[in-house]
Chains A and B, each alone.
Chain A
């Protein structure tokens, strides 16, 4: 006890300051009721946003070319997810680092995703019942060498550049694509039926709560981004703090979002990591304000406190005059 710095007695601390009656419970009660009234009014008048979630089914129906292009990209490991890196794959396509600092790599793969297998081949293999053409196509593809698979896929991906929608089917110019058109055609049918939404969630468990795979697949396509763009939600639109509709979103993320608008950061390949580092430093700065000379002195230099304690300073002045 004696080794500790003695604390200030409150009677002593408030010496010279007038004490007034104060009803804490009443203040809390009034504030609680007041906020409830405001919140009820806002809820009744403005409601809250709830734009339905995007589905793979809707994607396949409304933009089949984009869907097939993305699926073929997954099969040939050309998409963002397929090449992402940790925590999904061992790749390096989306790995960010600052010099030798690579926390993403250090953490390793913890949510393993095999884009070709998880998004295309595995769901198709579960839909082969009664479809001999699909079963045969899958066998042909799986039995082919990796070089042959890539040859088919490269040709097909190139042909998708001039794909057309004919009789609600994605049609490409004739070429040597092996079984790829059959696989893509069946995947499109599966997606349009809503089956792919469910199949991307299946695992060896009955209950499902992990949407990593369907979300990663959706995010690889242009359809999903288009929906976000229409709602002003992309990064260049300060999307991180926006919300669908004309509602306030996470406005408290304004500073986090701000850094992405700075060209030097926003266009960097490691923009996310840079922003994380900057925000970590700023958060630590906020935490340690009481100990940072200059920052802790600003309230004295810029006298906002004159407004906060205006009455107190008036009474001080009166006492001084008296």
Chain B
């Protein structure tokens, strides 16, 4: 209980070190650290102590299969990034001319399929468990943004395969993107632009969002089951109006 439960500071209480009074390294009277660095350190330490990042105890209900989907999604993303790095390193056309390259492309392809399968299962799991309750709406929203960014990332991946699929998808997708007024700025027929976006910008965005999502999950912990709501000491529910 003390590990997962003793995370009170992680839930918002001010941290004991930076940003508050304490002893300096010289043993002189307490000096309050100030500045941007101290503020960021204080916030990080307050919101995400190590026992939150790497928990060794969890509520028993986390034993449900539904909690596996999120972890497996991240596992698939690892192989998407690894195989994508190899493909990017060897050049855009490598996989068309090399058996090894084609195999790495297959790994990339199937990792992406796994990534989406488990991400959608994770999303549905969180929906049916109303995972946004008790102040977790932002976690849900970042997850949805992740889902949408993933779709665009995969889409740009299909555009830079340099084969018939790429050509056909680009030619068809352009009409919807042009109709929305974005076609001149996000030109799906421009291989160079799509390649840069696919191998650089979107993977960075995706990774940062995943990190943010994990931090959100770890800092608040998993939501209690529906029908077994948190009841504060005052006897009032702390829920936000979502299903109990």
Contact = CB atoms under 8 A, between A and B. Distances in A.
A48 interface: yes
A170 B168 CA distance: 27
Interface residues of B, number: 113
B135 interface: yes
Given A35-B76, A48-B110, A240 B189 contact: no
Interface string B57-76: 11111111010100110111
A39 B83 CA distance: 11
Contact of B11 (A7, A235, A275, A286): A7
Nearest to A105: B181
Contacts of B171: 215-216, 218-219, 224
Nearest to A240: B172
Interface stretch (B2-10, B27-35, B201-209): B2-10
Nearest to A112: B184
Interface string B213-244: 00000000100111110101100001011111
B41 interface: no
Interface in A86-144: 86-87, 94, 96, 103-104, 106-111
B176 A50 contact: no
Q: Which 4 A-B pairs have the closest CB atoms?
A: A110-B184, A209-B192, A103-B181, A7-B12
Contacts of B72: 31, 34-35
A173 interface: no
B62 A300 contact: no
B89 to A, nearest CB: 18
Given A36-B79, A104-B181, A209-B192, A316 B172 contact: no
22 contacts: A9-B7, A12-B230, A14-B5, A17-B228, A18-B59, A19-B3, A22-B56, A31-B72, A35-B75, A49-B163, A110-B184, A210-B187, A210-B192, A212-B189, A215-B171, A233-B168, A249-B165, A305-B226, A308-B129, A311-B64, A312-B64, A315-B60
Interface string A279-322: 00001001111110000110110101100111111011000000
A31 B68 contact: yes
Greatest chain B CB density within 10 A among A240, A251, A308 is at: A308
B54 A313 contact: no
A8 interface: yes
A6 B12 contact: yes
A102 B223 CA distance: 44
